[in-house]
Amino acid sequence: MSFSSATDSFDSGPRPTGSNRWDAEIHPGWDIGGNANGGYLLAIAGRTMARAAYRPDVTTITAHYLRPGPAGPISIDTNVVKAGRRFSTVQGTMATEKPILSILGSFTDLAANPSEHEVMLQRAPEWGDPEDMPRVEATDSFPPPAMGRVDLRLHPEDNFYNGPSGTPQMRGWVRLTDDEPWDTFSLLLASDIFPPTVFNANFTIGWVPTLELTVHVRNRPAPGWLRCEFASRFVTGGFVEEDGLMWDSSGILVAQSRQISLLPRPE
Using the minimum distance from each CB to a copy of itself, give the nearer residue, 18 or 114.
114
Using the minimum distance from each CB to a copy of itself, give the nearer residue, 54 or 203.
203
Cβ-based neighbour number of residue 39 at 10 Å: 27
Give the range of 9-17, 22-30, 114-122, 130-138 binding a copy of itself by CB under 8 A.
Answer: 114-122
CA 139 to chain centre: 20
Q: What are phi and psi of 43, to 5 degrees?
A: -65, -45
Nearest Cα neighbor of 30 from 147, 117, 156 is 147
Closest contact distance (angstroms) between CB of 214 and a copy of itself is 5
Q: Taking CA 250 as the corner, what is the angle to CA 244 and CA 251, rounded to the nearest 5 degrees?
A: 40
Using the minimum distance from each CB to a copy of itself, give the nearer residue, 36 or 201.
201
Binding mask 3-22 for a copy of itself (x = CB under 8 A): --------------------
Binding mask 20-59 for a copy of itself (x = CB under 8 A): ---------------------------------------x
Helix (H) or strand (E) holding 26: strand 21-26
For residues 147 and 137, the answer to whether their CB atoms sit within 8 Å is: no
Using the minimum distance from each CB to a copy of itself, give the nearer residue, 129 or 266.
266
DSSP structure string for 29-77: TSEETTEE-HHHHHHHHHHHHHHHHT-SEEEEEEEEE-S---SEEEEEE
Using the minimum distance from each CB to a copy of itself, give the nearer residue, 151 or 241.
241
**Residue 226 bridge partners (DSSP):** 174
Residue 78 contacts a copy of itself per CB under 8 A: no
Residue 121 contacts a copy of itself per CB under 8 A: yes
Helix (H) or strand (E) holding 187: helix 186-190
CA 54 to chain centre: 22
Closest contact distance (angstroms) between CB of 179 and a copy of itself is 25
Q: Are strands 150-154 and 99-108 parallel, antiparallel or unpaired?
A: unpaired
Closest contact distance (angstroms) between CB of 194 and a copy of itself is 18
Ranges within 216-255 binding a copy of itself (CB under 8 A): 216, 218-219, 232-241, 252-253
Residue 115 contacts a copy of itself per CB under 8 A: yes
Instruction: Tell me how far apart the alpha carbons of residues 17 and 122 are, in angstroms, rounded to a whole number.
Output: 45
Binding mask 161-190 for a copy of itself (x = CB under 8 A): -------x----------------------
**Residues at the interface with a copy of itself (CB under 8 A):** 59-60, 62, 64, 66-67, 81-82, 84, 87, 89, 91, 93, 98-99, 102-106, 110, 113-122, 168, 201-203, 205, 211-212, 214, 216, 218-219, 232-241, 252-253, 256, 258, 260, 263-266
